[in-house]
Amino acid sequence: MAIYIYLTSAPEALVASMLPPEGFGMYLSTGTKKLNKGQSIFFEVDLGKIEYLIDLEGLNKRCVAKEDGSPKSSVYLSVYKVLEILPLDSLKSLYLTTDNGHILELKKSTYDKSKEVFDALWLYQELCPVTPMVASGLPPSVFLKRLTDGSTPIVLPKLFFVDLKLGELATDPLRGSAEDLPYTNLGHLRDCLEILRGEYEKHMKTVQRIFSGLLLYRTIKSGFYVGAKDEMIFYRYPTMKELEDLNYEFFRAI
C-alpha cells in the first residue's frame, strides 16, 4: 500500500497515512470505532520534495498495515511549526471535509494580483500557524505580504488563510445588510470594519482572537491562500452553483 503525507491545519501536523485523501478525510472527520465528528482541512504533501526533512526509515517501519490487513490510518511525524519548514512547492491539493466525512478537493489555481480590489473591506480567517479572524482593508496578496515580510512588529514565517464573505458590509459596514451572515457578534464586526474604513493608516483589525474550529464553507468568498511574502499559492473555492454540480454530497452537507 502506498504511503501518503498530509499537512493538517488543526492541529498543525505532518501525518503519514496509508489512506488516500478521501479515506484520510473521512477518518479525520468521523473516526473509526469511536463516535467522532468534526470538519478538517489538510493538504496532500509531495513526499519526494520533503524526503530530506523526514526519517524515511522510521516512517517505513511505523506506517505499516495492521494485523488484519487494513491500512494504517495515521502516523504523526511532526507537530508545531510544520508549515513554516515545508517548501511551498511540496503542497499538492487542498482537501476540505465536512463533519460527516464528505470531502472536497481544491486544486491549485492561478491568481491574478493585478485584479485585486483596494476600495473594499475584507474578512480573513487565518488557519495556520495562528488562527485569529481579521478584518482588513488589504486584498489577499498584500495582506499576506504585510504579515510575512517583516514590515510590521508581528511577523509570521508563512500563513495559511481564507477570505470570507462580507456581503454589503464590505462597502457599507454600518448600514449594509448583514442578515444572511452567520458570524457571531455582528455588531463588533461592523465596528471593526468601520474603524478600518475611517483610519487610513490602520489596515488590520482583529475580529476574533481564537478560531472556533468550525469554518462555515458557505461563507468562503474566493478561496484559500498559503505562502509568504511574494510567494503565494491560491486554491480557488467554487461558487455554490459550481459546487452543486461538482460535488453534490459536499454541497448538501454544508
Site for other proteins, rule CB under 8 A: 26, 30-38, 98-101, 179-184, 214, 216, 218, 240, 244, 248, 252-254
Handedness of CA 165, 168, 170, 173 (dihedral sign): negative
| Inter-residue contact 135 to 122 (CB < 8 Å) | yes
Q: CB-wise, 183 or 234, nearer to other proteins?
A: 183
* Cβ distance to other proteins smaller for residue 90 or 219: 219
- Evaluate whether 24 touches 83 at the Cβ level (below 8 Å): no
Q: Cβ closer to other proteins: 115 or 175?
A: 175
**Shortest distance (Å) from residue 128 CB to other proteins:** 21
Residues 6+ apart with CB under 8 A from 196: 121, 135, 136, 137, 202, 203, 204, 205
Min CB(30)–other proteins separation in Å: 4
Nearer to other proteins, 95 or 234 (CB): 95
> To which H or E segment does residue 243 belong?
helix 240-246
CB 189, min distance to other proteins, A: 13
- Tell the smallest beta-carbon distance from residue 29 to other proteins (Å): 8
**Shorter beta-carbon distance to other proteins: residue 108 or 165:** 165
- Calpha distance 120→43 (Å, rounded): 30
Minimum distance from residue 100 beta carbon to other proteins (Å): 5
For 205, phi then psi, to 5°, come to -145, 125
